[in-house]
Structure 1
Amino acid sequence: MPDQQSSLRAQRRAETQRAIQAHAVRLFTERGYDATTVADVAQAAGVSPMTVYRHFPTKEDLVLADPHGRLVAERIAASPADRPLVRRIGGALVEAAAALTGGHGGQPAADRAFLLARLHLMISTPALRARHLDNHYALQRAIVDALGHDAGDPDAAFHAQVAASACLAAMHTALVRWAEDDGRADLPGLIAKALTAAFGEHPTEPAGPPASR
């Protein structure tokens, strides 16, 4: 029973977070980020400002908070440890993008529209662009942790950090292009294309034979 109650609480918390963030993104898009207050978001969501702050410590978090890091980390942890780092990370980024834009039993069009609205806000709002770098570092850390390269092997950790940073840079370029194209392109395919351009091979297709010397 305690486990069931804990699961129900976690589910209600997640539903509340999604509802608050959905109202926030809608209001920021309609009125402008700077013109919308946390109190406005709370009123639209039917909760108190304190409840908003309990779920989103800062106003920026109302846009920037997302499950991307968790999804990517889960997929990396489940990938074969003997695969090259770039393929493990790149494959996870593509798979997570597919999950976020396609949904699992949800409404794909709504999922894509929500992500697109968040991206437009991040690109057009100076305060969000500045904070987005923090999210980049947090996702990089989550990736390195999921790969299992800790401080016990500094060289391995360094290689993982470099690979994660390079893959995230390619993904960011794809996200900006997707937003500029108003979401008409296939986002997972666009991320895969960016990774292929950066590293010379598709992150989810079988690796080809080694080049002959």
Structure 2
Amino acid sequence: MANVSTRTTLQRTALRLFTEQGYDAVPVTAIAKAAGVSHMTFFRYFPTKESVVTDDLFDPALAAAVAAQPARLSPLRRAVTGLVAAMSAPEAMAKLASDEFAQRVGLAGATPSLRGAIWASSRATEDALSAALAASGAPARDARAAAGAVMGAATAVLLAWASSGAEDDPASALRHGLTSLLEDAS
């Protein structure tokens, strides 16, 4: 198996088992066995069991979209506008609309230990956004506040979306939630 297909197989197998049996009831060894690999192979692709669900929910590459926003805008406006622009890219739209994304966010929303892991995993993206804002001249404190506000809002919106029965699509929920941060902001 190629690296990408092994990772994909492991993730799909894990998500299926988590959905069928519950996240806490499924050990890594069961995921590996069901995927036809060793448990050590699992750890080559995922550092922890929770990373099967939390990895890449908020891609640190979003910092590039924030950095591309005009430096004359406030850090919060740059962060929101950059994330909304990044979510509008065809690849991002496809990812947000995928069954896998909905399944991962749904599992995180329904599993207390995973909700905490989602918040922790968004910290890497927050750091990347803050660095992108600071690199273009935003004061470090303002950059950190804007990045924290945007990632906090995005995480809260996605977890609420998952627990609400996902009536609208996650891209619309995120777009609305993020742009609402700007309604009273300068």
Q: TM-score range, shorter-chain basis? A: 0.7 to 0.9
Residue of 109, 115, 126 corresponding to 1:129:
115
5+ residue gaps, structure 1, are: 1-11, 203-209
Does the 8 Å contact 1:120/1:179 carry over to 2?
A: yes
* Cα deviation code 1:157-211 (max 9, x no counterpart): 1100101111122222321232133333132222222223332179xxxxxxx8x
Structure 2: which amino acid aligns with 1:178?
Answer: W
5+ residue gaps, structure 2, are: none
Residue of 103, 107, 112 corresponding to 2:94:
103
Structure 2: which amino acid aligns with 1:40?
Answer: A
Does the 8 Å contact 1:76/1:147 carry over to 2?
A: yes
Structure 1 residue 67: deviation in Å? Answer: 5.7
Structure 1 residue 38: deviation in Å? Answer: 0.8
Q: What corresponds to 2:76 in structure 1? A: 86
Show the 5 A alignment for 1:136-151.
136-149=122-135
Does the 8 Å contact 2:80/2:179 carry over to 1?
A: no
Q: In structure 1, how many angstroms separate the alpha carbons of the residues matched to 2:170 and 2:153? A: 12
Does the 8 Å contact 1:178/1:187 carry over to 2?
A: yes
Q: What corresponds to 1:5 in structure 2? A: none
Q: What corresponds to 1:119 in structure 2? A: 105
Q: In structure 2, how many angstroms separate the alpha carbons of the residues matched to 1:143 and 1:92? A: 10
1:171 aligns with 2:162: no
* Cα deviation code 1:69-126 (max 9, x no counterpart): 234123223333333322221123334444566328xxx75x1x21111112112212
**Partner SS, residue 103 of structure 1:** helix
Show the 5 A alignment for 1:1-213.
12-66=2-56, 68-99=58-89, 102-103=93-94, 111=98, 113-149=99-135, 156-200=139-183
Structure 1 residue 128: deviation in Å? Answer: 1.3
* Cα deviation code 1:22-42 (max 9, x no counterpart): 221121111111111111111
By relative contact order (CA 8 Å, sep 6+), the higher-ranking structure is 2
| TM-score (norm: length of structure 2) | 0.83
Does the 8 Å contact 1:27/1:41 carry over to 2?
A: yes
The alignment covers a number of residue pairs equal to: 184
Q: In structure 2, how many angstroms separate the alpha carbons of the residues matched to 1:18 and 1:92? A: 29
Structure 2: which amino acid aligns with 1:114?
Answer: E
Structure 1 residue 45: deviation in Å? Answer: 2.1
